[in-house]
Amino acid sequence: MSDENEIQFQRKILFVESSSAMRKLIANNLELYTGSEVICMKNSEELSEYFKSGESANLIVTEDMVDGEYTSLKVVYFVNAQQLEIPVIVMGQNPKLEGKAILIDRENWRGLVKEAAKLLEVTSEVMMEFSVPEYYPFQMACLLTMTKVPVDLYLDEEDGMNTWLLAESSIDREKVESLIFDGLQTFYVSRYHRLEFVNFLSTELYQLLSDPNLTFQNRVAVTQAAMDSSCYLIEQFGMDKKAIQTTRTAVESFFKMALLSPGLDDLLDVLSKNTNSYTYKHSLMISIFGHHLISKLQWGNTEQQKIIGLAAFFHDVMIADDRMTCIHSTQSLKESSLPDEQKIKVARHAFLTSELLSKYPDLPMGTDSVILQHHGTLNGIGFSDDHLDNRLSPLAIVFLVTEDFVHRILASEKPDKKAILHDMSLKYDKGQYRKCIEALEKAVS
């Protein structure tokens, strides 16, 4: 049984929004960063019916207008008329509501979440996630196809962050290759230019990752940049056109790396030289080993390998933080030093990611089930204590077993592949789980 019953929401937010895309983006972030239950509504009538049924709430967030009507005015009037004493945040600048509600620009969803957290008295420890660093890292290999840079680039040197290339400067490919060869893997971009650089980079990444001469080592580095950019775009704008384009580029590269991947020892060596990100290593290795595991199953095919690669890329996109992605059980979640709001985020990430993927076009059938069930629960909440649940989909079982293998590999400085597989064979000793272990043993031998 999962430990989902221990995850309890302490607050309720009513969110009135007519756009389904905005509902998902903002509701997910309100829930994740404030630890609140977010109840979505399409209009003010639904809100009034909610209160008339005897329910309560701690905060109301509403858009300003729906179909030419000022929904915000109706909401604020209802709250005042009923003497509810519930704060209202309006997404829009309506002068009639100055002093009667908190007004925040519709596009400023981060500011909205911060204000909601303030009103709900969410701990400052959680809201530290919104304190962005001055500079963001990018992989040096991203520059290999660029002829010039769109923004200033920086290097982290002994005396601090120093300007390396000014905006519009030309790029010397040989110089970049030399820096990579010498072990310099990272450059930095100011937080004020991060979005501009990511948008520029998205186009360049497609060109670079389509290069048939790109080495496996450089592909590993560039694909991390594509994955990081995808997560950032999804975080900022939801599953919009640019995020989908960048994601597809990265997922296709995941599949190519699964085809080209060296053995385990060589793969770990390449990863250690190209990234310090547990989240990225973890996702890429699931894609690679899941790909080869499926090739050893009687019913495995290319379509299923692509589903595993897509699921590997997306499964932790809602918690793309090494402190959270390394948690794989109810016990480790309980023992973690994460604040309660982030624990809720970890416990619900499978469910929230499967919801997010409903916006992904042409999603292969079964991908959402793999992500929903990848921690062994049918509803995507919490972690299952039943490691042999035969109700999971066959591909979800493949993913679960592969992720366990990868987790064990990354948890050891010098992983003993045979010992790990032996321990796993004792754990997964029945049905489809046993078949997956047998296939995994063949795949990594």
Domains with residue ranges and CATH for the chain: 4-130 (3.40.50.2300), 277-445 (1.10.3210.10)
Q: How far apart are CA 342 and CA 239, in angstroms?
A: 22
Q: How far apart are CA 428 and CA 431, in angstroms?
A: 8
For residue 92, give the amino acid letter: G
Q: Are 443 and 289 in contact (CB under 8 A)?
A: yes
How far is Cα of residue 293 from the mean position of the Cα atoms in its chain? Answer: 24
Q: What is the pLDDT of residue 319?
A: 85
Secondary structure of residue 13 in the 3-state scheme: strand
**What is the band of 5 on the pLDDT scale with cuts at 50, 70, 90?**
very low
Question: Whose CA is closest to 380, among 357, 361, 359, 363?
Answer: 357
Q: What is the pLDDT of residue 123?
A: 65
- What percent of the chain has a predicted confidence (pLDDT) above 90? 49
Q: Are 202 and 242 in contact (CB under 8 A)?
A: yes
More confident: 401 or 241: 401
Q: What is the pLDDT of residues 74-126, one digit of tens each?
A: 999 999 999 999 999 999 889 999 999 999 987 777 788 889 988 988 765 55
**What is the band of 11 on the pLDDT scale with cuts at 50, 70, 90?**
confident
Q: What is the pLDDT of residues 225-270, one digit of tens each?
A: 889 888 888 877 778 888 888 899 999 999 999 998 888 888 888 8
Q: What is the pLDDT of residue 4?
A: 39
Q: What is the pTM of this model?
A: 0.68
Mean confidence (pLDDT) of the chain: 87
Q: How far apart are CA 212 and CA 215, in angstroms?
A: 8
Question: Whose CA is closest to 313, among 252, 235, 392, 384?
Answer: 252
**What is the band of 356 on the pLDDT scale with cuts at 50, 70, 90?**
confident
Q: How many CB atoms lie within 10 A of CB 267?
A: 20
Q: What is the pLDDT of residue 7?
A: 42
Q: What is the pLDDT of residue 124?
A: 55
